[in-house]
């Protein structure tokens, strides 16, 4: 059955959001072909269309358009790599949700899903979108020194990774030092000042609790305060 993938609709520069504009029979790049051939990726593409339309109504046009363009560039760079493509959808759905689009990442998509059993404990952070590693929780603490979790939550990992939230994150609080987790990189900020790479986003799944969370590595994006 033919279905439409989100591509042209994310690049419309004027007027209201439109229906997606590419027939899978006309898919011409490896990433488009991979989306059309994979039911999970196809479902995420349909969710993206809904989330994008909602964000267009709620947030600044140029901002949402930049998110869409960056997503398309990231997905195109994946080629036919399924883990990479899956990670780009997770990342863009999160970005759009922050701009008042619906939270559209299915709960059953975890870091383990992206890793596909291939997350090695390298002792290092993942460096490319869709890359996953295994590591362990080092500590969980309040975002503010001396504060409680109502002020926000931070978590540190043995591979040097860190994530933080302004909210009380029960999944993080339930994690314990030594818990084994799978960590996948799903978002890399663009147009950052030289030497400032804050704002990388990771999807993490705790193997013991089976909780999954998606958070950035800094309270501010690159170029921020």
Q: 19 or 24: whose pLDDT is higher?
A: 24
Contact 41, 35 (CB under 8 A): yes
Residue 13: is its pLDDT beyond 60?
A: no
Q: What's the rounded Cα separation, in Å, for the pair 31 and 48?
A: 15
Percentage, residues of the chain above pLDDT 70: 87
Indicate whether 126 and 88 sit together in one domain.
no
Indicate whether 25 and 77 sit together in one domain.
yes
Work out the average pLDDT over 56-76.
92
Segments in the chain forming alpha helices (H): 30-37, 39-58, 61-78, 82-97, 111-115, 170-173
Q: Which letter does DSSP use for residue 150 in this model?
A: G
Q: Is residue 225 part of a domain?
A: no
Q: 214 or 10: whose pLDDT is higher?
A: 214
Indicate whether 86 and 59 sit together in one domain.
yes
Indicate whether 31 and 119 sit together in one domain.
no
pLDDT of residue 8: 43
Residue 146: is its pLDDT beyond 90?
A: no
- pLDDT category, 4, cuts 50, 70, 90? very low
pLDDT of residue 1: 35
Q: Which letter does DSSP use for residue 81 in this model?
A: -
Q: Is residue 210 part of a domain?
A: yes
Here the tokens at position 83 are 């883990």
The residues near 100 (Cβ < 8 Å, ≥ 6 apart) are: 54, 55, 57, 58, 59
pLDDT of residue 215: 96
Residues 72-127 have pLDDT tens digits of: 999 999 999 999 999 999 999 999 988 877 767 888 999 999 999 889 999 999 99
Q: Is residue 106 part of a domain?
A: no
Work out the average pLDDT over 56-64.
89
Structural domain of 51: 4-97
Indicate whether 167 and 125 sit together in one domain.
yes
Percentage, residues of the chain above pLDDT 90: 60
Q: Is residue 221 part of a domain?
A: no
3-state secondary structure of 185: strand
Dihedral of the alpha carbons of 116, 118, 123, 126, in degrees to the nearest 10:
-60
Indicate whether 43 and 125 sit together in one domain.
no
Indicate whether 174 and 203 sit together in one domain.
yes
Q: What's the rounded Cα separation, in Å, for the pair 94 and 63?
A: 14
Q: Is residue 102 part of a domain?
A: no
Number of domains observed in the structure of the chain: 2
The residue assigned the tokens 């404990």 is: 121
Residues 22-34 have pLDDT tens digits of: 578 878 899 999 9
Indicate whether 133 and 199 sit together in one domain.
yes
pLDDT of residue 26: 78
Q: How far is CA 216 from CA 13, 16, 123, in A?
A: 29, 31, 19
Q: 146 or 10: whose pLDDT is higher?
A: 146
Residues 167-209 have pLDDT tens digits of: 999 999 999 999 999 999 999 988 877 777 788 999 999 999 9
Indicate whether 125 and 166 sit together in one domain.
yes
């Amino acid at each position: 059955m033919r279905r439409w993938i989100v591509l042209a609709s994310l690049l419309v520069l004027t007027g209201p959001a439109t229906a997606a504009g590419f027939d899978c029979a006309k898919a011409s790049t490896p990433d488009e072909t991979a989306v059309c051939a994979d039911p999970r990726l196809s479902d995420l593409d349909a969710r993206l269309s809904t989330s994008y339309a909602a964000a267009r109504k709620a947030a600044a046009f140029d901002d949402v358009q930049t998110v869409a363009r960056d997503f398309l560039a990231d997905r195109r760079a994946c080629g036919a790599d399924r883990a990479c493509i899956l990670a780009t959808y997770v990342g863009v759905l999160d970005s759009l949700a922050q701009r008042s689009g619906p939270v559209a990442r299915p709960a059953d998509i975890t870091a383990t899903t992206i890793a596909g059993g291939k997350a090695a404990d390298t002792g290092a952070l993942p460096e490319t979108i869709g890359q996953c590693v295994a590591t362990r929780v080092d500590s969980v603490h309040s975002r503010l020194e001396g504060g409680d979790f109502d002020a926000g939550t931070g978590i540190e990992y043995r591979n040097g990774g860190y994530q933080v939230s302004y909210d009380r994150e029960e999944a993080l609080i339930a994690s314990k030092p030594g818990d084994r987790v799978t960590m996948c990189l799903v978002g890399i900020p663009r147009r950052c000042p030289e030497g400032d790479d804050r704002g990388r986003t990771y999807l993490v799944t705790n193997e013991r609790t089976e909780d999954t969370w998606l958070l950035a590595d800094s309270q501010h994006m690159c170029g921020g305060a």
